[in-house]
A = this chain, B = another copy of it.
Amino acid sequence: MTPLFRSLSVIGPGLIGSSVLRRARETRAIAETLIAADSNPAVLERVRELGIADITTSDPAVAAQADCVMICVPVGAVEEVARQVLPFMKPGSILTDVASVRGQLGPTLAAILPENVAYVPGHPMAGTEHSGPDAGFSTLFEDRWALLVPPEGADTKAVNTIEQLWTLCGARTKILSDEKHDRICAMVSHLPHLLAFTICDTADNLSDEIRAAVLDYAASGFRDFTRIAASDPVMWRDIFLANKEALLGTLDKFVADTQAMADAIRTGDEAAITSKIERGRAIRLTLIENRQA
């Protein structure tokens, strides 16, 4: 089988980027030549040790020469990196990114595309709390969704190609608008992370005695709740800021729902408490049916 691309560049071979490289390496269906680019020499050194790329470079102009250039850096740095590579990209090539917040990124980059270069970003809804080139694995995207958010008027052939790329990674694909993408992610990913970071912060603010005890006895609840709180701080700061509007809107709804539960507990309204719990439970059980649990 001929691979999808002659060459694929991954700029920022962290959890997501290195997982794509591993998948490409393993299946040989994605690209003949794999390029890993990063501004950090230690990352490139580690990529070489792991043997997951054919070429490593810190030069955006080198990375830009691939048929497909995939930007896998934190959200706040995507535009800057795109501005570095776009001038060097070849006619017929595709720029993509895996940014987990769209905001104005789509229209901004669409406006500065060179002629005959397509921009088709896609966000794989998969991850772990670990980061860096060692954190990736080739099955990370299996059975997960890759949300494609092509700007208006994006080249259909390029969109199909990026859909194929994610299908070859094991993911299911869906095309969404930027705005809907950002509202969904605020609910399913950004709010849970904000709460997980915050509950750790709350625990840390308690008296020394209680804090020590919390660390000892975290088994039933706190533990699960905080797994995602080990995630990369800069990446999450960028996400929170980039998706500020949708995130704060969803948070307001959540705080109001929390206060309603607190009121039911305060007034001893057993029926209201049970009904809220039952609803939560039903959502959870639906999740399991949808193969997401």
Residues of A within 8 A of B (CB): 125-127, 144-145, 147, 174, 180, 183-185, 187-206, 209-210, 213-231, 233-234, 236-237, 240-241, 244, 247-248, 250-251, 253-255, 257-259, 261-262, 265-266, 268, 270, 273-274, 276-288, 290, 292-293
Contact = CB atoms under 8 A, between A and B. Distances in A.
A184 B213 CA distance: 7
Q: Majority SS of interface residues in chain A?
A: helix
Contact of A202 (B230, B244, B257): B257
What 7 A-B pairs have minimum CB-CB distances, sorted nearest first?
Answer: A200-B280, A192-B221, A197-B280, A200-B283, A189-B221, A233-B277, A188-B222
12 contacts: A180-B213, A196-B225, A197-B279, A201-B279, A215-B287, A219-B292, A227-B284, A229-B277, A229-B281, A230-B285, A244-B266, A244-B268
Given A180-B210, A233-B278, A244-B266, 14 more contacts: A180-B209, A187-B203, A188-B214, A192-B225, A197-B277, A198-B280, A200-B284, A202-B253, A215-B286, A218-B292, A219-B292, A230-B284, A230-B285, A248-B266
